[in-house]
Amino acid sequence: MTPIAQSPSTLQSLMQEVISIARRAGDMIRTEQAGFDKAQIEMKGHHDYVSYADRKVEEFIVSQLTPLVPGAHFLTEEKTQKDKSQDETSTYTWIIDPIDGTTNFIHNMSPCCVSIALRNDHEILIGVVYEIGLDECFYSCKGDKAYLNGQEIHASSCTDSNHAFIELGLPYMSAKEPCLPEYLIKNLYGKIGGMRLLGACAAELCYVAAGRFEARIEENLGVWDVAAGGFILMQAGGRVTTFYNESSDINDEDSWLDAKQLLATNGHMHEFIRTCIQEVR
């Protein structure tokens, strides 16, 4: 396949098309959420919910993205597409979570969002996250800044852990994993500004990018939970690594992107939180 031109203007116009697709997918989610019948819930795993809405939205997104980068592969949470990202015919992969925050979605809660990233080999070129509850679209592309609904965003400049506002994520696989948030709550309670569990990793990474929070921490994540939001955060001046690895390089194949565990911060809080995690594990 022909590689897509990666000039800033080409990527920006491709990004605008992805934003439009994410917003239309968001409209579908809003409609489905308004009339959602809990009898439609299915289980993918222990406490890991899915519904026909996730699959319907995913199929819509795939159909709209397909002509934008002909031959690109798809890596999607709901597996409506075969993962061919290891096959050599294309280096481009769309990474999609049609509804990130599915548990929030089925309980008619926010945040829940659409997350779409375009990856070329191990480099992310575009990230778009659209959160439906507050009608907030976060986006960035290689060579550009990070934006929320047209306004530039930046990770916070907070350097004082005493005021840090931190988001934790609870993985679904409770039986298999020792619960890191439990240890972190014990360890950080009284030492930082506040902690929240919001339940939609992609949106929460963008909240760190927009300076609302100082950090977001979770393990056992899928690449579709982190690809777009992690990229947007880095473009907004934040830092994204695994808990143990120093690497924050989006071109590094051993990086956070495929690691399933994510320490995402405004940069200033990184070592403070990494040390806390290392103390409790």
Interface residue list for ligand LIP (CB under 6 A): 77, 97, 100-103, 169-172, 199-201, 218, 221-222, 225
Alpha carbons 210 and 266: distance in angstroms, whole number: 10
CB of 147 to ligand LIP, least distance (A): 22
> In which element (H, E) is residue 234 found?
helix 223-235
Secondary structure class of 238 (helix, strand, coil): coil
Complex with ligand LIP: residue 11 or 129, whichever CB lies closer: 129
Complex with ligand LIP: residue 131 or 214, whichever CB lies closer: 131
CB of 151 to ligand LIP, least distance (A): 24
CB of 82 to ligand LIP, least distance (A): 19
Complex with ligand LIP: residue 45 or 190, whichever CB lies closer: 45
CB of 150 to ligand LIP, least distance (A): 25
Residue that has been written with the tokens 């289980």 in this structure:
43
Complex with ligand LIP: residue 130 or 268, whichever CB lies closer: 130
CB of 65 to ligand LIP, least distance (A): 18
State the sign of the Cα–Cα–Cα–Cα dihedral 216, 81, 142, 255. positive
State the sign of the Cα–Cα–Cα–Cα dihedral 51, 148, 72, 13. positive
Complex with ligand LIP: residue 77 or 214, whichever CB lies closer: 77
Closest C-alpha among 183, 188, 6 to residue 91: 6
CB of 162 to ligand LIP, least distance (A): 26
Characterize the bridge pairing of strands 73-76 and 92-100. parallel
- Non-local (6+) Cβ contacts of 257 within 8 A are 119, 122, 124, 223, 226, 227, 230, 250
Nearest-Å Rg of the Cα atoms of the chain is 18
Q: Cis peptide leading into 111, omega within 30 of 0?
A: yes
Q: Which contacts qualify for 54-57: CB closer than 8 Å, 24 or more apart?
A: 54/78, 54/98, 54/99, 54/102, 55/80, 55/98, 56/28, 56/32, 57/25, 57/28, 57/29, 57/32, 57/98, 57/99, 57/114
CB of 51 to ligand LIP, least distance (A): 11
Complex with ligand LIP: residue 32 or 97, whichever CB lies closer: 97
CB of 238 to ligand LIP, least distance (A): 17
Secondary structure class of 48 (helix, strand, coil): strand
Complex with ligand LIP: residue 100 or 214, whichever CB lies closer: 100
Complex with ligand LIP: residue 108 or 251, whichever CB lies closer: 108
